[in-house]
Amino acid sequence: MAHSNYQWLDVQRIAEELADRHPSIDPYTLRFTELRALVEALPGFEADPKHPVNEKILETIQANWAEERDDLRSDDDD
């Protein structure tokens, strides 16, 4: 996957990156502070000061990450 820059509003991209990098983590076990730190550590991630992160964005990332993780697991089962 190419690492062009992305930001908080790119929730699907963030979820895909997290699922690829942290396949053993259950996103629903993380506190939002932990989730935020994982996102901010992703290669190519740059926070845009005009679009700061909020709880709704983190919830969306969390749900999308769980879905991506489940998709990856079902692909492995095929």
Q: What CATH class has 11-77?
A: mainly alpha
CB-side exposure of 65: number of CA atoms within 13 Å? 28
Q: Give the model confidence (pLDDT) of 10-53 as tens digits.
A: 999 999 999 999 999 999 999 999 999 999 999 999 998 888 99
Which amino acid would we find at residue 27? P
Query: What pLDDT is stored for residue 29 in this prediction?
Result: 97
Asked if residue 53 lies in contact with residue 47, where contact means CB atoms within 8 angstroms, the answer is yes
Angle between helix 32-40 and helix 55-77 axes, rounded to 10 deg:
70
6 alpha-carbon distance from chain centroid: 11
Distance, in Å, from the CA atom of 77 to the CA atom of 30, rounded to the nearest integer, reads 26
Instruction: Indicate the pTM of the whole model.
Output: 0.88
